[in-house]
């Protein structure tokens, strides 16, 4: 795997490529996004027809847009979709009219508190049209007639999502999910897509214990569609993580699963604390990203959510200020590193059974102490062996050992490997 600085630069370059595309919950912008992601990792792309029943929802009509603008009487485009995909209300129905500014105002969205920023707004399930613009742009518009054009289509088509699978030693799965429905917003969620891509590549360079399934899908309806289409094999999903807002300068935030004590929750808490990074662990709430679908009570999967500053927690959220300058290679590299550290723990967290449980087995004659010679943490490693032997009763995991002993997980896992090799414990 490339050094983290190089990885950060590669992720930022991917965000930069994806940034101009107009994404929504359906349409060619999603396909174009997945085509670029597919250059980095192989994808299985799924197309689900309009009208398909998915749990309590129905796959909507597909939305595509070619052009949109507001022009003054001289033909000057005062608001232009070509300049930014944020300028159009997502899922706007087609319109071609001329109207006075007073009438047009009812279809305009601004941020008066941030007069130079353009908001991100959508109307997925209610037929509307509209434009988003900077308050200072609106303030500068003189009264008069304006030409309004939204060259879009809402028609039967498909909802598109994709998967990438890193095969493991067992079929039990860890899912990693990120949404691909937001237009030109760098942190939410292009940074999450970029981290997922490089995380998938890093996992593929080894032979992980779990099978890792990466899901690139539009928010809410995409996760619901995936759950509906995979309901019969949902028992294979043992752990999961939703990635979002992965590139801003804020501290890492982990939102726990609905269970709160799922293994992924314990692993993330442990790794964040052990890393001594500034961080926050938040309780589950049924609002946010797609963790709320995976954690709905019928599924109740052990899926948490990792971000830096959480959704709606920074002023730039869902505005044009969430741009390429707002995300940094360093922040994305840090998010990626944390994911790799967490999955390294998750992948090695086993329960063992002590095969010599009556009294302490003699480690010296098995060469286990000699094997530690030259280690800078010899005393720690010896203690780890004793802890693993003592707690290997089939009930305690290596994470339990690390937490109870206060020893680093890597040291505990190495001790377990040595003991297993000596025939003193079995998985």
Task: Write out the binding residues for Zn(2+).
Answer: 182, 188, 318
C-alpha 188/C-alpha 120 separation (Å) is: 11
Helix/strand/coil for 140: coil
Strand residues in 145-298 grouped as ranges (E)? 145-155, 158-166, 173-179, 211-217, 237-243, 252-255, 279-282
Q: What residues contact 230, with CB distance under 8 A and at least 6 apart? A: none
φ, ψ (nearest 5 deg) of residue 125: -115, 15
- Structure-token pair, residue 355: 């095969």
Query: Which 8-state DSSP code applies to residue 354?
Result: E
C-alpha 81/C-alpha 66 separation (Å) is: 9
C-alpha 92/C-alpha 273 separation (Å) is: 45
Q: Which of 276, 264, 272, 270 is nearest to 284 (CA)?
A: 264
The separation between CA 60 and the C-alpha centre of its own chain, rounded to angstroms, equals: 23
Preceding amide of 189 cis, omega within 30: yes
Question: Dihedral of the CA atoms 303, 167, 230, 164 (nearest 10)?
Answer: 80
Cβ-contact 241, 305 below 8 angstroms: yes
- Structure-token pair, residue 346: 């998750």
Helix/strand/coil for 376: coil
Q: Is 45 exposed, middle or buried (0-12, 13-18, 19+ CB in 10 A)?
A: middle
Annotated binding residues, written as ranges, equal: 182, 188, 318
Q: Which of 73, 99, 81 is nearest to 151 (CA)?
A: 81
């Amino acid at each position: 795997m490339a050094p983290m600085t190089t990885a950060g630069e590669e992720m930022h370059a991917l965000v930069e490529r994806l940034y101009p595309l107009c994404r929504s919950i359906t349409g060619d912008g999603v396909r174009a996004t997945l085509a670029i992601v597919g250059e980095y990792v192989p994808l299985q792309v799924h197309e689900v027809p309009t009208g398909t029943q998915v749990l309590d929802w129905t796959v909507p009509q597909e939305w595509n847009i070619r052009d949109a603008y507001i022009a003054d009487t001289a033909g000057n485009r005062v608001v232009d979709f070509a300049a930014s995909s944020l300028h159009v209300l997502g899922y706007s129905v087609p319109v071609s009219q001329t109207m006075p500014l007073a009438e047009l105002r009812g279809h305009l969205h601004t941020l008066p508190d941030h007069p130079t920023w353009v908001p991100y707004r959508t109307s997925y399930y209610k037929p509307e049209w509209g434009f988003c613009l900077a308050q200072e742009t609106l303030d500068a518009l003189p009264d008069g007639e304006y030409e309004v054009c939204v060259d879009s289509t809402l028609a039967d088509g498909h909802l598109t999502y994709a998967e990438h699978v890193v095969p493991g030693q067992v079929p039990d799965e860890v899912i990693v999910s990120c949404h691909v429905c937001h237009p030109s917003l760098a942190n939410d969620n292009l940074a999450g897509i970029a981290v997922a891509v490089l995380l998938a590549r890093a996992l593929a360079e080894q032979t992980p214990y779990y099978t890792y399934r990466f899901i690139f899908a539009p928010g809410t309806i995409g996760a619901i569609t995936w759950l509906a289409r995979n309901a019969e094999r949902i028992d294979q999903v043992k752990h999961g993580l939703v990635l979002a807002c992965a590139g801003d300068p804020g501290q890492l935030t982990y939102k726990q699963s609905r269970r709160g004590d799922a293994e992924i929750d314990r692993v993330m808490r442990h790794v964040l604390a052990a890393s001594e990074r500034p961080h926050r662990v938040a309780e589950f709430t049924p609002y946010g990203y797609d963790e709320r679908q995976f954690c709905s009570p019928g599924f109740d999967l052990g899926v948490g959510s990792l971000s830096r500053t959480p959704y709606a927690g920074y002023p730039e959220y869902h505005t044009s200020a969430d741009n390429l300058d707002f995300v940094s290679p360093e922040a994305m590299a840090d998010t990626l590193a944390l994911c790799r550290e967490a999955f390294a723990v998750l992948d090695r967290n086993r329960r063992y059974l002590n095969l010599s449980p009556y009294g302490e087995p003699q480690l010296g004659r098995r060469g286990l102490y000699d094997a530690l010679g030259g280690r800078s943490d010899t005393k720690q490693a010896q203690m780890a062996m004793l802890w693993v032997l003592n707690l290997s009763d089939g009930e305690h995991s290596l994470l339990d050992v690390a937490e109870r002993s206060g020893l680093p997980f890597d040291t505990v896992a190495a001790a377990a490997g040595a003991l297993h090799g000596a025939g003193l414990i079995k998985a």
